[in-house]
Structure formats: structure tokens, C-alpha cells
Amino acid sequence: MHVVSRRRFLASLAAALTAPPLLAAEPTVPRTLRFAHTHTGERLVIDYFRDGIYDPQAMTTVNHFLRDFRTNQVHDIDGRLLDLLHRLAGLTDTGRPFEVISAFRSPQTNARLRRQGEGVAAGSLHMVGQAIDIRLADVPLTRLRAAALAMHGGGVGFYPASNFVHVDVGRVRFW
């Protein structure tokens, strides 16, 4: 297990609070994300941003990976969500991939989950590729939530009973 000192974690949080909303890194430095999908068993390591732009081929791959696994529907994932995850990975100093519980959800899947009483919002940002439910194997859930909150990048939902944190690029809010 990767352990980060409390002092280093708090310093990282303070840096996140003063960081601009979008990545301030050099535009030529590739942005890489690592994923492991908990429902499909698929894994992905990808440079989604290169040479100052979102790589179209990489974005197509990400869109497929983060598809609605229940219906296999694919939707464009907002690049700002990927940037938020990239910042979150750096802030938590994770050495592991994001474990994806849910990313894009089709309107049909969203409606079915609402009928089943899963606590799903009718206008969920999952339906427009702007939300994802995640965890990190080497970062305690409470620390992942704290880091996401510190970024002020959008919504943050905490679901300890289901072992995940929801992040989105909508308005800043938490639950």
C-alpha cells in the first residue's frame, strides 16, 4: 500500500486550492490516465491529451472504455472530466488505476436505476459524459473525497457503503 504523510497530503490539498480550475501544466506534456473497469474487467492506460490538444483517437478509445456497460452505448466523455481525474491522480499521488464503477449512463439505464431506488438523479451528469464514480485501491475513500472537494472542480458525492466517490464537472456542490 502506498502511504503519503499527512503533511505531504495537506500540502497537496493547499496547492490544489490555489491551482487554477484547469490544468496549468505545459500543453506539450502528455496527460495520462489509468483505468480498471470493475464491471467489465477491462483495463486502459492512455495518453488522452498530447501536443496541446485532446487526442481524437485516444478520446474515441476513452469513450468506448467508459461506455454504458449495461447497454454498450457509447457517448462522448467531456475532456474536463478527464482533466479533473488527471489532477485528482496527481493530488492523491496514486500509484494505481482509477477503478470505474460507473461513467456514461444511457437515459434508459439511468431511468431503470431510478426505478430501482438507487438514488440516481433524473438529470444525472452521467448521461452527458460529465460524471464518473470511482475509487483508488491505494487511497482511502475519505482521502479521495477530501482531495476531490479541495479541487472545487464540480460535484462530489460520497458513497462509503458502496465504496466509491462520485465526481463530475457540473456546478460545485457535495453530498
The predicted-structure confidence for 111-153, as pLDDT tens digits, reads as follows 999 999 878 999 999 999 999 999 999 999 999 999 999 999 9
1 within some domain: no
Rounded Cα distance, 95 and 40, in Å: 21
Kindly state whether residue 17 falls inside one of the protein's structural domains. Answer: yes
- Does residue 105 sit within a domain? yes
Torsion of CA 68, 72, 75, 76, to 10 degrees: 90
Q: Which of 147 and 10 is assigned the larger pLDDT?
A: 147
Instruction: Identify the band that residue 4 occupies on the pLDDT scale cut at 50, 70 and 90.
Output: low
pLDDT confidence of residue 119:
80
Q: Residue 61 is part of which domain span?
A: 6-174
With vertex at residue 27, the alpha carbon angle to CA 101 and CA 74, rounded to the nearest 5 degrees, is 30
Q: Using one digit for the tens of pLDDT, what is the confidence trace for 76-115?
A: 999 999 999 999 999 999 999 999 999 999 999 999 999 9
pLDDT at 3 over 60: no
What predicted TM-score, i.e. pTM, was given to this entire model?
0.84
Tally of domains in the chain: 1
pLDDT of 21 reads 46
CATH number at residue 37: 3.30.1380
- In a domain? residue 150: yes
Helix or strand or coil: residue 15?
A: helix
- Look at residue 110 and tell me if it is in a domain: yes
35-47: pLDDT as tens digits: 999 999 999 999 9
Residue 59: name the closest of 43, 44, 48, 75 by CA.
Answer: 48
Q: Is 79 contained in some domain?
A: yes
- pLDDT given for residue 20 in this prediction: 47
Torsion angle in degrees (nearest 10) through CA of 142, 83, 157, 160:
-40
pLDDT of residue 26: 60
pLDDT of residue 18: 46
- The percent of residues above 70 in pLDDT, for the chain, comes to 85
| pLDDT(71) > 90 | yes
